[in-house]
Amino acid sequence: MATDRATAGTADSGRVEAFSDGAFAIAITLLILEINVPAAHSGSELWHELGEQWPSYCAYVVSFLVIGVMWVNHHTVFTYIARVDRTLVFLNLLLLLVVAALPFPTALVAENLREPEASNVATAVYGAVMVAHAVTFALLWYHVAPTGPGGACAPPSTAGRAVVQCPQVAERRSRPGRVRGIPLPHPLPHRFAESPCQMVKKC
Amino acid sequence: MATDRATAGTADSGRVEAFSDGAFAIAITLLILEINVPAAHSGSELWHELGEQWPSYCAYVVSFLVIGVMWVNHHTVFTYIARVDRTLVFLNLLLLLVVAALPFPTALVAENLREPEASNVATAVYGAVMVAHAVTFALLWYHVAPTGPGGACAPPSTAGRAVVQCPQVAERRSRPGRVRGIPLPHPLPHRFAESPCQMVKKC
Amino acid sequence: MATDRATAGTADSGRVEAFSDGAFAIAITLLILEINVPAAHSGSELWHELGEQWPSYCAYVVSFLVIGVMWVNHHTVFTYIARVDRTLVFLNLLLLLVVAALPFPTALVAENLREPEASNVATAVYGAVMVAHAVTFALLWYHVAPTGPGGACAPPSTAGRAVVQCPQVAERRSRPGRVRGIPLPHPLPHRFAESPCQMVKKC
Amino acid sequence: MATDRATAGTADSGRVEAFSDGAFAIAITLLILEINVPAAHSGSELWHELGEQWPSYCAYVVSFLVIGVMWVNHHTVFTYIARVDRTLVFLNLLLLLVVAALPFPTALVAENLREPEASNVATAVYGAVMVAHAVTFALLWYHVAPTGPGGACAPPSTAGRAVVQCPQVAERRSRPGRVRGIPLPHPLPHRFAESPCQMVKKC
């Protein structure tokens, strides 16, 4: 889709989101390929072999939900972004590099979960990838909203960066009693929670 | 795509659908990877080896159509959803977790179909995944339309949930003689069939 | 994306296209996974092993272009379709079933191309999948345009089927000397070529 | 999405971009499948085996960034393209053929990086694929902007080709001090840099 490029050096965020959605969807779906398919002659043998693989099922469910939450967070951040500059595109690419790598530590944990020593190593690697994701996500977020609470809503002409759409007043009326989302481990909602007024005022 | 967020705590359903479409498309396409590629020296040997694999072809066709019908149902439900809240996003993620797992039971059935005992186990696992899908689909649907027939069309301000677009009057004029779809095993079309008037009136 | 459903029993074609695009893109990209990655100790050994795999490279290029042409044809047909009914969704699913299966005959041909007898069998299987694709594509097309040349443009209220947008008059002015496309092996462009006037008139 | 086809023999670029995004996203995500998952009994053994695989991690990061930069370039070119003709669709397909092939040379380099001689061969193959990408990208670009600087903005009625949207005057005001993108190895930005005035005037 050709964009009208209203702002200098930026592009519409739509295609970045489409590409990210594709990468997230593929990473989340490739997880199942890491589970071996057993073949057996008797029923009890097959049950046994299927049962033996429980770490693979756990790893699949955990990593699926982890990538899912990453996608929800990514989705939430991009609802505040109307246009992207080139730096944001590359920060997003760095984020996807970590997300797309997740099937590897997932399979590593599944393979080594029953060996006490090796499982420590595998979970350390898994944790390191999680940390790498948190770092790339924070880099992306601080590029979008660099000047503290309220800064995200500075108008595009002065910001010269990724243009952030202002959350509307209706946003503040969300009733947490009805909409119970899983709390995000990222600074995004807290920043917005701290200063909804400033942000709305600046826009 | 940045959304305008007209309703508190919800977002446009477009990106959830794009992500879901991606996951469905990948799950459905990965099925072919589970079929082994035989190599042979003579033509009759290759025919024989290809023929030996008939359970794999059957499993591919059946699972392709199963995931396809799941996608059609998902598609149909989302034509009634204009905006999504966070709970719906996570229920959708749960649904995709089951859909993305389907290549595993498919390969399990294909591997074990010719052993009478083992095939029972494999088909039981396949069935269990089907049941899990039905449960997640029902959870998603009851979140969208929680208060019985007609409830789906309560206006967004009072519902505080995923906002459901009203089916228009034209919808009731569908001629089943011309549009012969495969009947869905889910409660969706029946609920709408029971109470088209109420729904249209309430909106 | 929620649709407005202007026509009875049909839905916007956008999501069907997104799903199809995903399936095509995955099928076309999975082809590379069928090529083995050789490892060697000396440079000449690696050149030799890479050279030994020439049938895999040929199969990759041929199948990539075949799926690519299929996608272009699919794309062209859907530029004439504004809304889809349920039958069209399932015919499209059948088409995708064949497209997604293509990595299998591709690898089969690559594995058996140097055995004279076995290569005949492999190419026969490849050809059979091509025929299956032509049949599903024809089924889809005859559902969209069932009543012969010009029928595709009957107005939605009388057709009761997938709604076809009329090609505009500008369409007839295409200069074949400038836009040199590869001729399609499907009946689509010929039908339109036969009766551009009727179609435009009927709309 | 049905297009309105305002220009003879061309179609909206949206679906070509969606298909390309899908292929890029899959190629970039499949890279992780080429890394083997080691299993070990002791922790130090697993660390050792993980360490042994360093060429695979390097190859993953390098190829991820390479495909990412290719996608950014592709994205940038398509922001100038509003409508596509059939030749552009096939040139784009040729480009994707090379992009989708990248997981193969990536794995080849990773497998052979520690053998001095074999690594030369593997990197030569990798470089050859890079050259092939540059050639296809140049072909695509020269089809879009064939007549030298400024030619890209000739109006559609005289060009008879892929229609290029004019970069607006605002484009020239981009402040490179703020928006620091990685310099592209392709002729695209230079051409535009040479002749911003002519292009804007011609439109």
Residue B93 pLDDT greater than 80, yes or no: yes
Rounded Cα gap, residues A57 and A35, in angstroms: 8
Identify the pLDDT of residue D198.
26
Can you give the C-alpha Rg of chain B in angstroms? 21
CB-based contact (8 Å) between B37 and chain C? yes
Residue D148 pLDDT greater than 70, yes or no: no
Residue A175 pLDDT greater than 70, yes or no: no
Residue D41 pLDDT greater than 90, yes or no: no
Model confidence, pTM = 0.74
Angle, nearest 10°, between helix axes B43-52 and C116-144? 50
Given a contact cutoff of 8 angstroms between Cβ atoms, the answer to whether D130 and D98 are in contact is no
Identify the pLDDT of residue C125.
93
Rounded Cα gap, residues B130 and B101, in angstroms: 10
CB-based contact (8 Å) between C124 and chain B? no
Angle, nearest 10°, between helix axes C116-144 and C103-112? 160
Residue ranges of C 77-116 with Cβ closer than 8 A to chain D: 78-82
Identify the pLDDT of residue B156.
38
CB-based contact (8 Å) between C169 and chain D? no
D40 vs A112: CB contact, 8 Å cut-off?
A: yes
Of B9 and A191, more confident: B9
Given a contact cutoff of 8 angstroms between Cβ atoms, the answer to whether D82 and D13 are in contact is yes
Identify the pLDDT of residue A145.
76
Identify the pLDDT of residue D95.
94
A39 vs B118: CB contact, 8 Å cut-off?
A: yes
Q: And the tokens for D114?
A: 């520690």
CB-based contact (8 Å) between B1 and chain A? yes
- Write down how long chain A is: 203
Nearest residue to D34 (alpha-carbon basis) of B104, C39, A68, A123: C39
Identify the pLDDT of residue D9.
54
Identify the pLDDT of residue D147.
55
Rounded Cα gap, residues C80 and C68, in angstroms: 19
pLDDT digits (tens, 9 = 90+) for A109-153: 998 988 888 899 999 999 999 999 999 999 998 888 765 444 444
CB-based contact (8 Å) between C26 and chain B? yes
Identify the pLDDT of residue A168.
37
Identify the pLDDT of residue B126.
94
B80 vs C104: CB contact, 8 Å cut-off?
A: no
Give ipTM to 2 decimals. 0.70
Rounded Cα gap, residues A4 and C73, in angstroms: 29
Q: Sorting pLDDT into bands at 50, 70 and 90, what band is D6?
A: very low
Identify the pLDDT of residue C10.
60
Q: Indicate the DSSP class of residue B82.
A: E
The C-alpha of B199 sits at a distance from chain A's nearest C-alpha, in angstroms, of 23
B180 alpha carbon, distance to own chain's centre? 19
Q: How many CB pairs under 8 A join B and C?
A: 150
Ranges of residues in chain C with a pLDDT under 70 are: 1-11, 146-203
Compute the Cα dihedral for B145, B148, B151, B153 and give only its sign: positive
Identify the pLDDT of residue D186.
37
pLDDT digits (tens, 9 = 90+) for B189-201: 333 333 332 222 2
pLDDT digits (tens, 9 = 90+) for B60-75: 999 999 999 999 999 8
Alpha helices in chain C (DSSP H): 14-30, 43-52, 54-78, 86-101, 103-112, 116-144, 156-159, 169-172, 188-194, 196-202
Q: Are strands C81-85 and C10-12 parallel, antiparallel or unpaired?
A: antiparallel
Q: Sorting pLDDT into bands at 50, 70 and 90, what band is D15?
A: confident
Identify the pLDDT of residue B9.
54
Identify the pLDDT of residue B95.
94
Residue B150 pLDDT greater than 50, yes or no: no
Of B179 and C22, more confident: C22
**For residue C97, what is the nearest residue in chain B, using CA coordinates?**
B64
A21 vs B26: CB contact, 8 Å cut-off?
A: no
Give the DSSP H/E element, type plus range, for residue A12.
Answer: strand A10-12
Identify the pLDDT of residue C147.
55
pLDDT digits (tens, 9 = 90+) for B118-134: 899 999 999 999 999 99
